[in-house]
Amino acid sequence: MKLHTQLNFPGNCEEAFRFYEQHLGGKITMMMSQSQAPGAPAGAGNAIIHARMNIGGTVLIGNDVPSAIFEKIHSVYMYLSVDSSEEAERIHKVLADGGQVYIPMAETFYATRFSQLRDRFGVSWSIIHERPMV
């Protein structure tokens, strides 16, 4: 059994996945639009019906959904644990651009760096460089 995270987007799945690939070190392994699907009728749209990315040792799935059923993601965070305070700062800056910061990047009792934000694609993130456990 495997557990993957799937994110729904309101029409910008490809843009988001390309952004994550460029800035978070992910690798897109599959992306298909409606018009690329087998048997797609002429004029099928460019909405992404399936995207897959390897990122941070896991698989992230994404797709676009019709605006009539799309709902912003609430109370779910992508939890990104990084190897250095500098990497946490870099990723925070990239994801915060055009987004909304909930908890500014700071030192805590459990992390050398920690922040929470919603990026410009509507995805919420916790970014952490954990303190070594004693």
β-sheet bridge partners, residue 127: 80, 115
Detail the DSSP E strand segments found in 3-96.
5-9, 27-33, 48-55, 58-64, 78-81
| The CATH fold of domain 5-64 | 3.30.720
- The one-letter code for the residue type at 57 is G
CATH 3.30.720.100 maps onto the chain at 5-64
The model's pTM is 0.90
Token output for 23: 């800035």
- SS3 of 118, please? strand
What values do phi and psi take at 82, rounded to 5? -115, 170
Per-residue pLDDT of the chain (134 residues; tens, 9 = 90+): 989 999 999 999 999 999 999 999 999 999 999 989 888 787 778 999 999 999 999 999 999 998 888 888 788 999 999 999 999 999 999 999 999 999 999 999 999 999 999 999 999 999 999 998 87
- Which residues have C-beta within 8 Å of that of residue 54, sequence separation ≥ 6? 26, 27, 29, 60
Domain 78-130 sits in CATH at 3.30.720.110
CATH 3.30.720.110 maps onto the chain at 78-130
Q: What is the pLDDT of residue 41?
A: 81
